[in-house]
Amino acid sequence: MTCDDARAHLPDFLTGELSAKAKSSVDAHLAACGACAEEFHKVSETWMKLGVLPVEQPSAALRDRFYTMLEAYKEGLDARTADRKAEKAFSIREFFSWKRPAFRFAAAAALLFVGLAGGLFVGRSGAFNEKFARLERQVDDMRQTTALSLLRQPSSSERLLGVSYSEQMRAPGEQTLTALFRILDTDPSVNVRLAVVDALFLFAKDNRVKDGLVASLGRQESPLVQVALIDLLTEAREQKAVDALKALIADDKIHPDVREKAKQGVKNLTS
């Protein structure tokens, strides 16, 4: 390898995209050539140095301005509808005023609904109810599709967003429930699993949900998730949970706090 060849690889060397084969040729050249070794060293040092620059956060006003602009654009699109008063009750900006990322994501989902439903709060014609029901179904379908795709993402914040989409359905479909239960049992992030417990709480009247939760209790290893599940099942007064709780109590590997919680649960459910 010539000096020019070696230096042509420098940019990929910096971003770590050098193939193993190229890297070993470059390493061999650097071991033999002082001039190139120095150049690589100097340039890498500057490259690393750039890492001291922190990621800066913009002011809150930026988000505020964006949502104002988006709202105004929406209104422009819907300009044909005469009276906007009723819609004003839903200030999109207020939805987004919280800092919590999970809430922001949930709010993004809410925004979809507000946007679509917006036109309906004006001029209630005879067809209103039918139109509203159709729209609700459309939004539910959209949430279902979005939720399913988000629940499969590698990043835990995207999966959290997926959970919050699911939460806003009136009745989750078979596929969404399967995905939620898979996450409840296997997700590497405890936060995501806890979010699923919260989401399923809303659908706890559904027998499929109840059975799934009882079954999952025996599979959980995180005490936090176990406690959340026990709370949920006790609150839902799910009698089928009694056996699963007794099994937990008998398990000697279980965290003492969880065992205590399970005992209380059994007491509540059987009293």
Partner 1 sequence: MTDHQIMSDVRNGYVEKLAILFERHYVSLFNYFLRLTGNREVSEDLVQDVFTRILKYRATYQGEDRYIVWMFKIARNAHIDALRRRKEALPLDEQLAEPADAEPLPEDRLEREQDSALVSKALGLLPPRKQEILVLSRFQHMKYREIAELLDCPVGTVKAMIHRAVAELGEIYAALTREKCHDM
Cβ–Cβ < 8 Å for 75, 50: no
Which is nearer to partner 1, 73 or 128 (by Cβ)? Answer: 73
Distance between alpha carbon 156 and the CA centroid of its chain, in Å? 6
Give one word for 115, left, alpha or beta, with left for phi > 0 and alpha for psi -120 to 50: alpha
Residues 140-199 that bind partner 1 (CB under 8 A): 146, 149-150
| The only residue of 20, 62, 79, 89 in contact with partner 1, by rule CB under 8 A | 62
**Whole-number CA gyration radius for the chain:** 27
Based on the shown chain and the rule CB under 8 A, indicate whether residue 121 belongs to the binding site for partner 1: no
- Options 29-37, 95-103, 109-117, 214-222: segment touching Zn ion (CB under 5 A): 29-37
**Of partner 1, Zn ion, none, which one sits near residue 239, judging by CB under 5 to 8 A according to partner kind?**
none
3-state helix, strand, coil in the chain (%, to 5): 75, 0, 25
Q: Are 265 and 233 in contact (CB under 8 A)?
A: yes
Residues 87-116 touching partner 1, rule: CB under 8 A, are 96, 104-105, 108, 111-112, 114-116
33 binds, among partner 1, Zn ion, none (CB under 5 to 8 A by kind): Zn ion
For residues 187 and 151, give the distance between their C-alpha atoms in angstroms, rounded to a whole number. Answer: 10
Closer residue to partner 1, CB minimum distance, 139 or 266: 139
- Tell me if 36 contacts Zn ion by CB under 5 A: yes
- Picked from partner 1, Zn ion, none, the partner binding residue 82 (CB below 5 to 8 A depending on kind) is none
Closest separation in Å from C-beta 108 to partner 1? 5
Q: Which listed option, Zn ion, partner 1, none, makes contact with residue 90 (CB within 5 to 8 Å by class)?
A: none
CB of 267 to partner 1, least distance (A): 45
CA distances from residue 252 to 47, 218, 241 in whole angstroms, order as listed: 54, 13, 19
End-to-end CA distance of the chain: 81
Nearest residue to 95 via CA among 57, 68, 72: 68
Could you give phi then psi for residue 95, rounded to 5 degrees?
Answer: -55, -35
Q: Given the complex with Zn ion, which of 33 and 102 has the nearer CB atom?
A: 33
Residue 146 touches which of partner 1, Zn ion, none (CB < 5 to 8 A by kind)? partner 1
Binder to partner 1 among 5, 19, 31, 73 (CB under 8 A)? Answer: 73
- The site partner of 63 among partner 1, Zn ion, none (C-beta below 5 to 8 Å per kind) is partner 1
Residues in region 198-217 near partner 1 by CB under 8 A: none
162 close to 153: Cβ distance less than 8 angstroms: yes
Structure tokens at 134: 């159709």
- Residue 59 binds partner 1 (CB under 8 A): yes
Which residue's CB is nearer to partner 1, number 165 or number 181? 165
- Tokens representing 120? 């309906």
Residue among 42, 137, 237, 267 that touches partner 1 (CB under 8 A): 42
Under 8 Å between Cβ of 196 and 220: no
Contact set with Zn ion (CB under 5 A): 3, 33, 36
